[in-house]
Amino acid sequence: MPYVHIQITREGVSTEQKAELIRGATDLLVRVLDKNPATTFVVIEEVDTNNWGVAGQSVTLIRQAQAKAATAPEANQRATS
């Protein structure tokens, strides 16, 4: 009775994407380990980006810095025009 726990950040993953993850994880266990899909459990847990950290920072802060960096060229371009 396999149990797969997938943790992802809560950033707009669609129902269709989650269904694909569940199918894919189940199919992998069936194909590789010959497990019964009827007794294969897949749980997807979405974690708030404030509660997920990488390299000493929350994902929220990382995403904010990425958004700021992405808009910086536009701001620099307007300033030099």
- The structural architecture, per CATH, of the domain 1-47 is 2-Layer Sandwich (3.30)
List the catalytic residue out of 2, 4, 10, 60.
2
* Span 25-64, pLDDT tens digits: 999 999 999 999 999 999 999 999 999 999 999 999 999 9
Confidence check: pLDDT of 80 > 80: no
Active site includes 73? no
Structure tokens given for 44:
């997807």
- Alpha-carbon gap, residue 2 to 32, rounded angstroms: 12
β-pair partners for 5: 43
What was the pLDDT predicted at 77? 64
What residue ranges do the domains of the chain occupy? 1-47, 53-81
pTM for the full model? 0.77
What was the pLDDT predicted at 81? 57
